[in-house]
């Protein structure tokens, strides 16, 4: 969704989704006992793993997962220095560097089927909710931008924002990339609460 004025006017572009690659990555984070990003809550209904790895093994796994997470959330901002290859069992949802990800690949492969199934169901639920309220997404952001413009007395600057609507265990909004936020599905569905929550994000960008 986007808004724009006449020639040379500022433009804003907002992409909202419940991206299956992001959902898979968060599912794997939980079942592998990955802590980072520390501030992001767990997914609902997925019991976190009790970590029984050595400190060194855990540190290596977390480092490889953080690199995978960055490439998944904002792939153009985090290109891999080596070629990527699809991981067996994950369809097209997980691509990892052909070297340097061996520990992560070994850890995630046993969870492929349930991770893909979880992501598919969560994505379909998001699409069904969005289809039931056509136009609501656009109005939510357009209203926040218009209010920001009234407050600051100028047109909003051009900006891009990616929004991942996720089934997280706590309500809120979190930055997960330089141009990407995660918002709880319950908060996204609460028009008044989401309007309040998205204002500081818009103010920061516009």
pLDDT in tens, 30-48: 999 998 899 999 999 998 7
- Evaluate whether residue 137 is within a structural domain: yes
pLDDT value of position 147: 85
Mean pLDDT for 78-89 is: 92
- Evaluate whether residue 118 is within a structural domain: no
For residue 149 the two structure tokens come to 């413009």
Of 61, 83, 111, the one marking the end of a domain is 111
For residue 98 the two structure tokens come to 């052909």
**How far from 86 is each of 96, 199, 200, CA to CA, in Å?**
7, 38, 37
Mean pLDDT for 84-104 is: 95
- Is pLDDT at 4 greater than 70 in this prediction? no
11 and 43, same structural domain? no
Q: Dump pLDDT digits (tens) for 8-38.
A: 556 888 999 999 999 999 999 999 999 889 9
131: exposed, middle or buried (Cβ count in 10 Å: 0-12, 13-18, 19+): exposed
Q: Dump pLDDT digits (tens) for 110-139.
A: 999 999 999 999 999 999 988 887 766 778
Q: What's this model's pTM, rounded to 2 decimal places? A: 0.91
59 and 10, same structural domain? no
End-to-end alpha carbon distance in the chain: 16
What is the domain count for the chain?
2
Peptide bond into 29 cis (omega under 30): no
- Evaluate whether residue 35 is within a structural domain: yes
170 and 137, same structural domain? yes
Of 111, 137, 167, the one marking the end of a domain is 111
- List the domain range (segments joined by +) for residue 43: 24-111
Q: Which of 146, 139, 120, 116 is nearest to 16 (CA)?
A: 139
Q: Which of 204, 183, 203 is nearest to 194 (CA)?
A: 183
Q: How confident is the model at residue 5 (pLDDT cuts 50, 70, 90)?
A: very low
Q: How far apart are CA 66 and CA 94, in angstroms?
A: 14
Please provide residue 175's backbone torsions phi and psi, each rounded to the nearest 5 degrees.
-75, 130
CB neighbour list of residue 18: distance below 8 Å, 6 or more residues apart: 122, 123, 125, 126, 127, 164, 165, 166, 185
Q: Dump pLDDT digits (tens) for 146-189.
A: 888 888 888 888 889 999 999 999 999 999 999 999 999 999 98
56 and 7, same structural domain? no
Of 49, 77, 111, the one marking the end of a domain is 111
Q: Dump pLDDT digits (tens) for 47-60.
A: 877 778 899 999 99
Q: Dump pLDDT digits (tens) for 56-72.
A: 999 999 999 999 999 99
Averaged pLDDT score across all residues of the chain: 90
- Evaluate whether residue 119 is within a structural domain: no
């Amino acid at each position: 969704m986007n808004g724009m004025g006449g020639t040379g006017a500022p433009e804003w572009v907002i992409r909202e989704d419940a991206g299956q690659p992001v959902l898979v990555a968060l599912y794997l984070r939980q079942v592998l006992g990955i802590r980072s990003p520390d501030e992001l809550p767990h997914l609902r209904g997925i019991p976190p793993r009790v970590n029984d790895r050595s400190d060194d093994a855990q540190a290596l796994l977390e480092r490889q997962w953080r690199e995978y997470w960055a490439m998944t959330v904002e792939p153009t901002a985090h290109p891999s220095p080596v070629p990527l290859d699809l991981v067996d069992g994950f369809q097209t949802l997980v691509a990892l560097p052909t070297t340097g990800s061996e520990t992560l690949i070994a850890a995630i492969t046993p969870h492929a089927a349930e991770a893909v199934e979880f992501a598919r169901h969560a994505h379909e639920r998001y699409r069904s909710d969005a289809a039931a309220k056509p136009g609501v997404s656009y109005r939510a952001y357009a209203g926040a931008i218009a209010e920001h413009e009234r407050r600051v007395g100028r047109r909003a600057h051009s900006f891009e924002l990616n929004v991942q609507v996720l089934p997280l265990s706590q309500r809120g909004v979190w930055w997960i990339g330089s141009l990407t936020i995660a918002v709880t599905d319950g908060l996204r569905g609460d028009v008044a609460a989401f309007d309040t929550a998205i204002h500081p994000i818009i103010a920061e960008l516009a």
